[in-house]
Amino acid sequence: MTAFEELQRGDIVWAADPLSEKGRPMLVLGTPQFPNHGVQLITVLISTKTYHEEALTLRDDDYAGDPLGERSYVLPWSIVTLNNAADVEYHLTSLVNERTNDVASQLIDYISS
């Protein structure tokens, strides 16, 4: 198990979903450390649903570790900040840097428009 403070950009975790009572996979894009709050994880949601036109498809070669069990799609517009270890159930796998950068670039495009 990877400790909350050891998670890094590109990691995929199973975490509490703010939109439902179920958890879901989330991609870590940033891990800023704040003096009064400690580490926070800036993440985006991952889905298995295919109806999101702007979602970024994850292919097997996008993973640095084992791929997720089902074809998955990153939703770069769905940002979630995780504030403590209780928000993260476990580490699943990681993406390669190139694909993580693609997701971050798409997120920047969304918040810059």
pLDDT tens by residue, 59-76:
999 999 999 999 999 999
What's the CA gap between 50 and 36, in Å, rounded? 40
pTM score of the predicted model: 0.93
pLDDT category, 98, cuts 50, 70, 90? Answer: very high
- More reliable by pLDDT, 83 or 32: 83
Q: What is the CATH number of the domain that holds 37?
A: 2.30.30.110
Give me the domain span that covers residue 63.
Answer: 4-112
What's the CA gap between 59 and 42, in Å, rounded? 22
pLDDT tens by residue, 17-66:
888 888 999 999 998 787 777 789 999 999 998 888 889 999 999 999 99
Q: Could you tell me which of 39, 16, 13, 17 has the C-alpha nearest to residue 26?
A: 13
Number of structural domains the chain divides into? 1
Please provide the DSSP assignment of 39-78 as one string: E-EEEEEEES----TTPEEE-GGGBSSPPPSS-EEEEEEE
Which residues touch 75 (CB under 8 Å, ≥6 apart)?
Answer: 44, 45, 46, 47, 52, 55
Q: Are 84 and 98 in contact (CB under 8 A)?
A: no
